[in-house]
Chains A and B, each alone.
Chain A
Amino acid sequence: MLSAIAARRAAQAASKQPSPLPTPSTPSADPIPEPQRNSNPPSKRKPSSGNGKSSRDSKKAKIIPGRVPTTARYFESKNTIEGGEDVIMLGSSSDSEPDVQAKLVVDSSDDSEAEETQNPLVSTELPSYPQPLRSEPSQLSTFKPTRDLNVYELSADEASATGLRNETSVISIDREETLALLGTYALTILKGSVSILGVTLSASKEAHHVFAPRSAPIPILRCASSDVHDDSNIYSLPPRVRNNHGGAVVAIQSLDTGVEGLGRVCRVFDGVFEPSRWQRSSVEVIRPGVSLVTHSTRDVLPFVLPESWSVALSAAETPPSSEDPIPLSVYVVKGPKKSGKSTFARTLLNRLLARFQRVAYLECDVGQSEFTPGGLVALNVIHNPVFGPPFTHPSLPYRAHYVGATSPRCSPAHYLAAVQALLETYKLEVQTSMPDDESIDTRVTDVTPLVVNTMGWTKGLGADMNAKIEELAEPTHIFEIIGPEEKGWPTAPPAYDFYDQSAPSKAFQYTLEAISPNLTNTHFNAVDQRNLNILSYFHAVFPPITSTSFSSPSTPIRQMTATKWETSHPLCARYPYEVDWSQAFDQVILIGAGYEDVIPSEISNVLNGAIVGLVEYEPGTEDPAYPDSSGARELPYAQGRDLPIPSTSTCHGLALIRAVSPSSSHMHILTPIPPAILARCRMIVKGELELPIWGMLDFTDANEGVAGVEKGRVPYLQWGKSEGLGGERRRVRRNLMRKAQM
C-alpha cells in the first residue's frame, strides 16, 4: 500500500506538472499574420489563467498567454486526494537511479488499475491535458426548406407573370426564421421587408446582387416585417405563393457573373462560393450556385452586427425633424487593423443608401480598399448597396490618386495632399446637387453624404496622418472602433494639433466594439485578400461608358461597378492593348523608396511586367520630361520627379504593362478601364504595387507552365528554393523573445 500512496504522489506531481510552466507564452499574434495553420488551436488566443494574464499586462512583452491548462481542475483533484496526509517520499536516496523509478511507476500503474474507481485522476485526467476550447457550431438557418410550402420554383413564364425575369426560387421567410445562403444570387424582395448584413430592404423592383463567399462572413436573411403597404404590393404573386401566412417573400435568382472563376485564378480562393468539402452533405441547394447553410463551421462564419454597432448606426441615420434642411453629413470611421472598420463603413454606406440616392465613399485605407484595388486613395459615389466583400464590387472611382503602395509610409505628404484634394472635390462637386424632381426615387437626391474610411495604421506616423485627415474631413459623426490590441486612440495630442486650438470638434462621437476574433475567418489573410482584390480588378468587366459621361461635373454621377468577370482565360492569354508610348504618354513617374536611382536607360526593364496607375492631368500643369518631346525615342522619364499635384490630376485606375517592346516604341497593356477614358491618361506612375504571382500563372496549363512555356523556363519566375544564402527577401520578426522574457 505504501507504493500505492507513493504512486498517487507521483501521479499528482505529474498531473500538476503542466501548470507551473514558467513561460507559458506564445509568440504574439503578429499584426501581419503568418499563414494560418489548420491545427492552430483557438485556445492560443484565450487567456486561461492568472499566470498568463499577468504577463499579458506588461505591454512591452506583448505576450499572449499560452496553453495553461485549467489549473482549477488540478487544484480540485489535489484536494480530494490529499486528505491531510503527509507526503511520503520514496526512493529519495536513489534519485539518480532510473531503474528504481521505473519499478515504482510500474507498480503504481498496476495498483491504480485496481483502485481506478477511487483514483480516476491517473488515467483520465492526463490524456485530456491540452483540450482546446471549441467554439460550438451555431445554427445559421432555422429556415427548413420545404417545396411548395415555403420554397416555390417559378418557371420562366410564371416568373414573367409575376414581374420577374428568368427562373426564380421564391422563398417565404417567417418571422423569427433565419436563412443563410452561400453563393452568388440576385435578391428581390417581393413582399414585406428583409434584413441582410445590417440593412433592411423593403419590397421593390430592385434586384440586389449578393455575393456570399466562404471567405467573408455569410449574410443572414431575416424577416424584418411582413407589412404590406398598398403601394408596395408591386408583385402579383402566383396564387400558390400568395396564400402563405405572414412573413416576407423574396425571390432568389442565380447570378451569372463569372466571379467564381477568380478561385481558379487565385487558388487560395478556389471554390469559396461553394460549400466546403466537409459541409457538402449537410447543405441544400436552393438554386444552381446558391446553397443553404445550416450551421457555422470554422470556415463558414455568419455576419454578426455587434450591439454597439447597431446602436451607432441607428443613431447616425435617424433623420432630423422634417422642418430642418437636410444636414450635410460626413461620417469618419476609424480604428486599428482587423477591427472590422471597413465592414462597419460598408454597413453604414448601405444603411445611408436607404435614405439617400447617392452616398460618397472616401477610401483612405490604401492597403485594403473597398472599391478599388490597393494603392489608390479614391472617392467613389455609390447608388446601390453593396452586399459582398470588396473583391465582388470593384468600381471605377469618381476621382482617385495613386499612392503606389499598400501603405502611405513612403509618401505621407503626397498621401495627405491626395486626401485633401478628394475632400475638396467632394465638397465642390458631389456634396450637394440640384434636386432631381423627375425621379420616382423617394430618397434624398440633393444631398450626398460622405463616409470616410481611414487606414488601420493607428500608431506613430499613421496616427498623425489619421488625425490630419479627420481634421480635413470636418466630420459630423465619428465612429471609433476600439481594437483588441491597442487600447484606444493615442491620448497624446497628435503633432498637427498644436496650431488648431478650436478643438474639440463638435462631431458626434461613437465608440464601437471590435468585431470578435472568433468571427473572422483565419483561412484567408490580408495578403491573400489584397491579391484577390487586384486580380478581381484585372479580370473585371466594367459597364461601357462614353467619353463625355464620365467624371464631368455637368452630367449626373454614375456608379461604375463591375458586374461581370472574365475568368475563362488567365491574364497571360488575354488580348492586350498595343500602345505606342511615343504617342500615348507624356510622362513616366516612379514613386517608391530608392526609385530615384533608376536611370533612364533602365526604365523599360522596370516597366516590363509592372502594375502602373494611369493618370490624367490638366494640360500645362506638368513640365514635360523632355523639352522637345517630338519624335522621342526614349520613354518620357526623368529621375527623381515628383508626382503630379492631386488637385489637378486624377488616376483612372491601374494597368498591367504585360510587355515592353525591346525594339519599337510599343508596349502591350492590360487594363479593365473602359477605352473611352484611356486616351486621356497621359501619365503612367509605377509604384511598389506588384502583380500577385497568381496573376502571372496560367491555370489552363495542366503542367504548371505558362502559355506553353514549361515550368522552370518562365521568365521572371523561379520555382524551388533559392540556392544561395541571403536569397530571400528581408523579413522582419517582432515577436522574438529576448533573455529578459525567458
Chain B
Amino acid sequence: MRLPRRVPWANINELDQLCSWVFMDESDLEAKRFAINRLSAWRAVTALPHALESTLSILTARLIDTSAMQQNTSWLSLRQNYAAAIIRMVNGLVDPLQAGAYARSIASIAAQLGLPSWLVELRHAATHEDLPSLELLREAAREALTWLLHNYFLPTINPSAPRQSTAPPLRPVAPLLKQYKTLLRIVTRDASLRKQNQPDIDAIMRDIERWLAEAKLAADFAPDAYGWDTIDGNNVEQEDPREKWALERLCDALIEKGALVPLSQKRRNFLADDFAPPHSSLVLWTLLLAHTHTYHPTFPSVLTTRIMETLLHERPSTGFDMDVVSLEADESQNDPSYHLALAKWAAWVIKAYDNSQENGELSLRKNVIILLASTLAPGKTEGAKKIEVLAALLEAVSSGFIELQKASDILLSATQPLQSQHWKAGDLTVMNERLYSLLSFDGESQKYINDPDSAPTTTLLSAQGSDIGGWRLLDHHSGWKSCPIGVYYPNHAALSIV
C-alpha cells in the first residue's frame, strides 16, 4: 500500500486557479496578490512542493519591484530579494536529484532538468560573486517563472497531456561495463599492472555510480518507470521507485550476454558439480557487484529478481532440439547454457548477500524460492524445458536450510508427472465446509463495517446535545455522517437553528 501525499489544495482546480492568477496577465497586480496570499496560506497548511515555494518567492520579489516604482525603496534589498529567490529555486530543484553517492555538478543536473544553464550561472554569481544587476535578475525571474509553468504547473494540472521532453535520453550503460571488463581483465591477468590501472578502475566505478544517478533522474521521464502497483501489505516501507528503476536498467545490462555471462558458451559452465559462476567471471565482476551493493542496499534483490524474471518469463519455445544454437537475437533467450549461467549467478548473489536470519523478514533466498515455486508448482508445464535449470537453482538455494529444503523437496518431487487425482466422496463435503466458512466470514466483516450506530463518540460525554461554551458533541441523532478530513458535513439539526 503506497501512501498518498498531503497537498494543500482540496482538488486540482484550486491549483489551476492559482496558476491562472500567476500567469494569465502579467500586469494584473491584484491577481498576483491573490496568488501570494493563497500560497502563503498553503505554506502554513503543509510543506509546499518546492516549485510552489519558488513561485511564491519570485512573485513576492516581482510584486515589490513593481510597487517600488512609486516608493523609494532600497534597490539593494530588491536585488537581494530576487537573488535569494533564484538561488533557492535552483538549489531546491537540484539538491533532491543528487541521487548518487558522489556529488554531480549542478550544471549537469540542471541540463537534465532542462533548466536554462544561465540560471545556474546566475545562482553561482549571486552566491559567491558580485550580486548581479537588477536587469539580469528581472530577466532571470521571468525565465524561472516560465520554466515553472512548463515543467511544474502544466504537467501537474494536466497529468495526461504529453510532456515536452527536454531531457536528453539516458546514455546506455553497456559501454561502461565493457570498459570496466577490459580494465579488470588486464589487472587480473597481471597483478603488477594493478597499481597503474587503479585510478582508471576507480574512475570507471565512479562513472557507473554516476550513471546510476542519471538513470534515477531519467526514471521520471521513463514511461514504464512507475508501476504504482500495490505493494504487499507487510512491506509498507517506502522503497524509492526511481532507484529500483535505475538498478533494474543496470541489472538488465549485466544480464545481457557478454557481461556476467560470457559470450563464449564454453566458458559459461564447466564446473558442473559446483553451482556457482565460473571463477573467471567471478574475478571480473565481484568488485563491481560489491561496490554497487555498498551504495544500493537493494541491489542484490533487484539483481536476483531480474535474473529470475529472465529465467521464468521466456517466450514460448519452438524448437525442441537443445543443441541447435540459433544466431538470431531473439532466440538468445532459449539458450540453456546461458540460463544455467544466470541461475548460478542468482545462487551466488543469494549466497553472498543474503544475511537475514532464518526467521527474519522475506529474505532474498525466500523470495527466489517463492518465485521458483510458482513455476515449479504441480500442473505448470510451460517452463518445462528449463525445469532442470530451475530445479538445480532451487536445490542450490535451499541447501543448508532444513525447512526450505523440505519445502523444495516437495516441489521437486511434484515436478514428476502429476498423480492422477482420485475423487473421493468426502471431498465435496470438505469443499462445502470451506465455502461456508468463507461466506460466513465475509458476512461478519460486512456487518462490522456497515454498522453506522457503532461509530464511537470521542469521549464519554454523557450530556447529549448539551452545549458547553460552544462545544457540542455530535451523535447519531445529529445526522452527521463520516466524511474525509477537511470536508464539512453540515449537520441538519444545527442548520435548522441557524
Contact = CB atoms under 8 A, between A and B. Distances in A.
B228 A9 contact: no
B266 A106 contact: yes
Contacts of A544: 459-460
Contacts of B54: 726
Contacts of B44: 590, 592, 594-595, 598, 606, 686
Given A574-B455, A577-B474, A599-B40, A96 B156 contact: no
Contacts of A729: 47-50
A297 B456 contact: no
Contact of A572 (B4, B294, B297, B482): B482
A104 interface: yes
B189 A91 contact: yes
Nearest to A691: B485
Interface string A701-739: 000101111010111111111111111111111001111
Contacts of A717: 4-7, 484
Contacts of B454: 568-569
Nearest to B299: A39
A675 B40 contact: no
Given A268-B236, A609-B485, A109 B49 contact: no
A511 B264 CA distance: 64
Given A39-B298, A575-B480, A606-B44, A723 B475 contact: no
Contact of A730 (B46, B50, B154, B498): B50
Contact of A18 (B101, B287, B301): B287
Contact of A574 (B10, B192, B458, B491): B458
B468 interface: yes
B153 interface: yes
B194 interface: yes
B355 A41 contact: yes
B293 A130 contact: yes
Contacts of A660: 488
A715 B11 contact: yes
A152 interface: no
B51 interface: yes
Interface in B430-461: 449, 454-461
A453 to B, nearest CB: 27
A486 interface: no
Interface in B356-388: 356-364
Interface string A576-588: 1111111111000
A523 B360 CA distance: 12
B111 interface: no
B362 A38 contact: yes
A41 B360 CA distance: 13
Contacts of B159: 723
B43 interface: yes
Interface centre among A9, A24, A675, A719 (most CB of B within 10 A): A675
Given A666-B494, A672-B459, A679-B471, A106 B280 contact: yes
A38 B360 contact: yes
Contacts of B7: 716-718
Given A602-B38, A678-B469, A737-B101, A98 B486 contact: no
B92 to A, nearest CB: 5
A383 interface: no
Contacts of A603: 41
A722 B9 CA distance: 14
B103 interface: yes
Contacts of B316: none
Interface stretch (B24-32, B79-87, B345-353, B421-429): B345-353
Contacts of A714: 4, 484
Contacts of B238: 35
Interface string A139-177: 000000000000000000000000000000000000000
Nearest to B361: A38
Contact of B484 (A106, A575, A707): A707
B18 to A, nearest CB: 12
B148 interface: yes
A726 B290 contact: no
Contacts of B490: 661
A696 B480 contact: no
Nearest to A678: B471
Contact of A87 (B47, B96, B191): B191
B6 A693 contact: yes
B233 interface: yes
Interface string A273-298: 00011110010000000000000011
A244 to B, nearest CB: 33
A350 B153 CA distance: 55
Contacts of B237: 35-37, 268, 523
Nearest to A9: B191
Interface stretch (A121-129, A428-436, A497-505): A121-129
B328 interface: no
B415 interface: no
A737 to B, nearest CB: 5
A504 B267 CA distance: 74
Which of A91, A656, A658, A674 has most chain B Cβ within 10 Å? Answer: A658
A1 to B, nearest CB: 18
B153 A724 contact: yes
Contacts of B329: none
B73 interface: no
B236 A13 contact: no
B116 interface: no
A89 B192 contact: yes
22 contacts: A37-B298, A38-B362, A39-B353, A109-B271, A277-B234, A523-B237, A566-B458, A577-B458, A577-B472, A599-B40, A661-B490, A669-B471, A679-B468, A693-B4, A695-B485, A709-B484, A716-B6, A716-B486, A720-B228, A723-B159, A730-B53, A737-B103
Q: Give the top 6 A-B pairs by smallest Cβ distance, nearest first.
A: A679-B469, A584-B470, A726-B51, A583-B470, A105-B280, A278-B359
